[in-house]
A and B are shown apart, each in its own frame.
Chain A
Amino acid sequence: MNNFIKIKNLTKKYEKNKSIKVLDDISFNFEPGKTYSIMGPSGSGKSTLLNLLSLIDDPTTGSIEISSNKIKSNNKVENDLIRAKKIGIIYQDKNLLSDFTALENVYLPNLLVSKEKQKSVDLAKKLIKNVGMSSRINHFPNELSGGENQRIAIARALINDPDIILADEPTGSLDSDNAKLIFKILFNLKKKNRIIIFATHNRYFANMADCKIMMNDGNIQIINATI
């Protein structure tokens, strides 16, 4: 049950008129129980890397291995299932389905895998309570502030107790107080076996991670903070 992410010679190219190499032969091991921050200028490929790790995008060449399972990019069904069970994703904004309440948004991913509604609802309520949003469970996303939406999104990302949490500029559209709150919640999610990876432009939050990954021109540079 060793849980890690291994990427090997990962390359992502876009061919349009001329070829753009967004990721250039990247290899790295993400270890369980650690937090990783991804920094880098705009367009350096942070979102691209996170989309590859979340199996939403396919690499041009190279391989991804999650907990010893080699990912096959043509096996969409399997990859969707891995994403549902093992990976919690938080984007910068508009994470939630606008036609559903906070509670419904949170329990949906669990319903997907457990098919037991009452259990899912109870679990969702507990997680929403953990992010301090209990009084708002029946509100729709457009009735909540940006920060509140992100807290609900975190609760949703956690509902299947994922081994991996990926956050792409989760506080990109929040003020610093809300950003602090979100990162406080995120860092509290660190468990023995969980990998947390987030992209951010904020140096302060990036420095709080166990390991910093600097991206530039399709390459990565690793800076271990706390050793």
Chain B
Amino acid sequence: MNKSLFSALKVERNVMFIILSLIIIVAAFNIISGLTILVKNKTRDIGILKSIGVSNKSIKKIFFLVGFFIGTLATLFGVVVGTLFSIYVESIRQFISNIFGISLFPEDIYILDTLPAEININSIIIISLCSIFATILVSIYPASKASSLNTVKTLKYE
């Protein structure tokens, strides 16, 4: 009986990993589209910066840093919220169970009477680094685009 439970849990874990990875990909695309819109909105400003002699490299840096800051702040926010969630996971479970009158994590299936949660510093560090790395990766494209715009056209942009 335990064997099949463990393999079921293992499958659940893997599926969870895939779902969470998909969420990260969606979030990454959000950064790309957000930055692309920002570049579009700031097209005239890019032209102005060029006209006062700001280099393409600096313009690239500006938009890259915007993406990087958003990603890093989001990562910090995620770590704080996630850690709090892990610490209070049992209270949260009870709270939700009470409100909706359903039994999350039923004792008779999982054998445990409380929802276990382990805060693993290494995981936090690895996941944070991965997510910051992902932000860096997705910020590069819109930033390069901003710096490679045709200046004459940016100045005509309304």
Using a CB–CB cutoff of 8 Å, the interface residues on chain A facing chain B are 51, 54, 56-57, 76-77, 80-85, 87, 89, 91, 94-99, 108-109, 112-113, 156
Contacts and interface: CB of A to CB of B under 8 A. Distances in A.
Contacts of A85: 53
Contacts of B48: 94-97
A112 B53 contact: yes
Contacts of A113: 53
A74 B45 CA distance: 23
A156 B152 contact: no
Interface of B, secondary structure class, is helix
Report the interface size class on chain B. Answer: 10 to 19
Interface of B: 44-45, 48-57, 151-152, 155
B146 to A, nearest CB: 15
B39 to A, nearest CB: 15
Contacts of B44: 94
Contacts of A98: 45
B155 A112 contact: no
Contacts of B54: 80, 84, 112
Given A51-B152, A89-B51, 19 more contacts: A54-B51, A56-B151, A76-B55, A76-B56, A77-B55, A80-B56, A82-B53, A83-B52, A84-B54, A89-B52, A91-B155, A95-B48, A97-B48, A97-B49, A98-B45, A99-B45, A112-B52, A112-B53, A112-B54
A158 to B, nearest CB: 12
Contacts of B53: 80-85, 87, 109, 112-113
A94 B44 CA distance: 8
13 contacts: A54-B51, A56-B50, A56-B152, A76-B56, A80-B50, A80-B56, A82-B53, A83-B52, A87-B53, A94-B44, A97-B48, A109-B53, A112-B54
A156 B51 CA distance: 11
A112 B54 CA distance: 7
A54 B155 CA distance: 13
A17 B57 CA distance: 33
A82 B52 CA distance: 10
A13 B95 CA distance: 71
A54 B53 CA distance: 10
A96 B44 CA distance: 10
A77 B56 CA distance: 8
Given A76-B56, A94-B44, A98-B45, A83 B51 contact: yes
